[in-house]
Chains A and B, each alone.
Chain A
C-alpha cells in the first residue's frame, strides 16, 4: 500500500535523533565496549588494560562455578516457565466457560504484574522464613524436616521459583483464558460428536490451537526468568546459600561490581548477549513478522 509521505528533508532526522542518540550512547557504545572489554584484562581503576584475546572466555567455560551457574539459570528458568504455564493452562482450561465477570476476574488476577520481582521475593522470603514464616510452620505438621533456605540450596531455589511463578501467574492465566475463549467451539463440538472425550479433545485440538499462545508465553517467561529476576536474587538470596541460586545475570553483576573483575564480567555479558539474541530471534521468527516493514 503506497503511503502518503511528507516531503521534508531534514525533519525526519530530527525526529529520530533522540532515540538514535540514546540508542547509540547507551546501547551500542556499551555493547561494543562489553565486546571489547571481554577481550582484555582490566584493572579496577583503569590503570591497566592488557589484551588477552579469548582468555576470559576460556576461563569462563573451564570454570565449573560458571557452568553451575548456567545450569542453575536454565533449571530455574525452565521450572518457572513450565510450571507457570502448566498451572495457568490447567486453570484456564478448567475455568473456560461462558461466565459473566471474566473481565473482573482477569483484573483480579493481573495485579501481581505490578509487583517488582524483588518485592515479591521479600514477601515470599518471609513466608518461607525458617523461624517466623507460615509455610515452614504449616509444613512442620507434615514432616520433621527443617526447611531452612539459609542452608539448603534446593529450598532457596524453591523460594525463588515460587515467588517468580506467583508474580507471573495472573499474566499467563489471562493470556491462556483469552486464547481459549478465541477457539471456535464448533471445532470442539465436532470432535465431541465424533466421540472424543474431554481430555482427548484437549490434547488433540485445544492444545495445538493454543500453540501460538504457548510459544509466546514460553519465550516471554524464559526471558523474564533469565534476566528480570536479578532483583529477586539480589534482594532475597544473594546467590546463596553457597552459589545455589547464583543465576547468570547475578554472577555477571557480582564479578563486575564486587569482584571488580571487569574483563571477566564483560565476557559473561557477551555470553548473555548471545543468549538474548537467540531467544529474541526465535521469538520473532515464529511469531508475527514484525521485522518486515
Chain B
C-alpha cells in the first residue's frame, strides 16, 4: 500500500517535471543514439538538416551513452511505456530486437505511411544483415566492414613493397620482416572476434552458426571449430609464438597500437579511418586494402558492423508519419552520400556509391573506397549474409576468451574452439529457450 502511494506521488512529480510537451507546433520525434565526438556532431547535423527541410516534424537527437547503455535506456523506457521513437542499436543487438515484439518493422512503417524507399537499392550485405523474409526491419544507418590497414613507413623500413598484403601468407611474411626490422608489432587486429573469426568465416563462405547463421531460425550451436576455424586459429597461435602477431585486447583496444605507429599490418573496422587519420597526422603514412584471404577456401563476403535505427511500438500514428518522413530523408541519395562522406561509414545504397564516385569523393578519400570495393567484389551466400545470435555480446565474450587462451598457448586451437562452441551453445540455448 505504501508502495502504491509512493508510486502515485512519484508519477505525479514526474508529470510535473516532465513539463508540457503537447503544446508544440511541430510533432516531436525522439531519436536515441550512441555516437560521440565528431560522429555525434554529424548526427546532430543531419537531424538539424531534416528539421530545417520541413515544418511538420522535429527530430530530437539524444545521446544516450554507449550502445549497451542506449539499448538499456530504450528497454527501460519501453517498459515504463515511454519509449523513444527511434533507437540506434548495435548489430549484435539485432536478434534481441527481432525477438522482442517491441519493434515496428521499418519496411512496414514506411509502407503504412505512404513513403516509398527503393529497398533494392540498398547494398547487399547491409540489406541481408537486417532483413527477415526479404524485408528490412531496421533502417540502415551507420554500417562499416573490416578492412586491412598498413603502415607505409614501417613497410618502407622493412624493405617491403608499398602495397597491402592480400593473403594470409603475405601477411605473415610481411609481419615477420617488420618485426625483424625493429617494429614493435608486426600484425594485430581490433574487435578480435568480429575481424578474425566472424568476418574470416564469412569471407571464406564458411558457416559460423547453425540455422544459416541464425537467419533460418534461432541458432543454438556455433560452427567455428571446423577445419577452417582451426586453421585460422593455429595460424594466429603460431604468429603469437613466433612474435609476428600481437594480441592487443578486446573491443578496439588494439587501435591504440596502430594509432601510435607500432603496428605494421592491422585489421579493424572501416570506420576507424577517421580516427586513424587524426592519430597519424604528421607522424606516419598509411593506407588500406581488402581483408587477407586464406588459400583453398571459397569466396564469400565480409559482414557488417556498426548499428541501425529501430522503431519502437507505442507511439502515435502522427508521430510515426514523421519517422517515415525522416527515414525517407535519410535514404535519399544526396543525404546518404553526404553522411557517408563526412563519417567514413558505408554509403547504404548503390545510388549513393555512384553519386560519390561521380563527385570525385573517392579520389580525395581513396581509403573509403576499399571497404565498398571489397563488398562489391564479394559474393553474398547464406554464410556471408550476416550473423544473427541471441545474447550475441555474451557469445562474443566467450569466443574472445578462448581466443586469448589459444593465442597465449594455454590451449590448442581445436580445444579452445571446442570450448568456445560449448560455452556459446549454452548461451544460445538459454536465449532460444525464451522463445520456444
* Interface, chain A (partner B; CB < 8 A): 17, 20-21, 24-25, 29, 41-48, 50, 59, 65, 131, 150-151, 240-243, 255, 257-261, 264
Contacts and interface: CB of A to CB of B under 8 A. Distances in A.
Contact of B404 (A21, A42, A242, A264): A242
20 contacts: A21-B2, A21-B6, A43-B99, A44-B71, A44-B75, A44-B96, A45-B96, A46-B79, A47-B100, A47-B101, A59-B430, A150-B249, A151-B247, A151-B248, A240-B249, A241-B249, A241-B404, A242-B400, A255-B394, A260-B71
A150 B253 contact: yes
B9 to A, nearest CB: 10
Contacts of B433: 41, 50
B189 to A, nearest CB: 14
A40 to B, nearest CB: 10
B418 to A, nearest CB: 14
A21 B1 CA distance: 10
B430 A261 contact: yes
Contacts, number: 80
Contacts of A260: 71-72, 75, 96, 391, 393
Given A24-B3, A25-B6, A242-B404, A261 B68 contact: no
A239 B393 CA distance: 15
A257 B68 contact: yes
Given A47-B102, A242-B401, A41 B2 contact: no
A246 B97 CA distance: 28
B404 A259 contact: no
Contacts of A240: 249-250
B362 interface: no
Contact of B434 (A50, A65, A151, A243): A50
Q: For the complex, would chain A's binding face be called helix, strand, loop or mixed by DSSP majority?
A: loop
Interface string B410-436: 000000000000010010001001110
B338 interface: no
Interface in B254-287: 260
Contact of B100 (A17, A29, A43, A131): A43
A65 to B, nearest CB: 7
A241 B250 CA distance: 8
Contact of B393 (A29, A41, A42, A258): A258
Contacts of B78: 45-46
Interface in B382-400: 391, 393-394, 397, 400
A46 B434 CA distance: 11
B8 to A, nearest CB: 12
Contacts of B248: 150-151
Interface in B74-114: 75, 78-79, 96, 99-102
B435 A48 contact: yes
A258 B68 contact: yes
Contact of B101 (A25, A45, A50, A65): A45
B72 A257 contact: yes
Ranked 6 nearest A-B pairs via Cβ: A45-B100, A259-B394, A258-B68, A47-B101, A48-B434, A45-B102
A46 to B, nearest CB: 5
A59 B431 CA distance: 13
Nearest to B100: A45
Nearest to B67: A258
Given A46-B79, A260-B393, 13 more contacts: A17-B2, A21-B5, A25-B3, A46-B78, A59-B426, A150-B248, A241-B250, A257-B72, A258-B68, A258-B393, A259-B394, A261-B394, A264-B430
Nearest to A56: B430
A233 to B, nearest CB: 15
A137 B190 CA distance: 27
Nearest to A17: B2
A50 to B, nearest CB: 6
Nearest to B392: A259
A261 B391 contact: yes
Nearest to A45: B100
B430 A41 contact: yes
Contacts of A25: 2-3, 6
B100 A243 contact: no
A258 B392 CA distance: 10
B321 to A, nearest CB: 24
A45 B434 contact: no
Nearest to B9: A21
Interface in B191-205: none
A131 B423 CA distance: 35
A43 B2 contact: no
A215 to B, nearest CB: 38
A258 B34 CA distance: 14
Contacts of B102: 45, 47
A243 to B, nearest CB: 7
Contacts of A20: 2
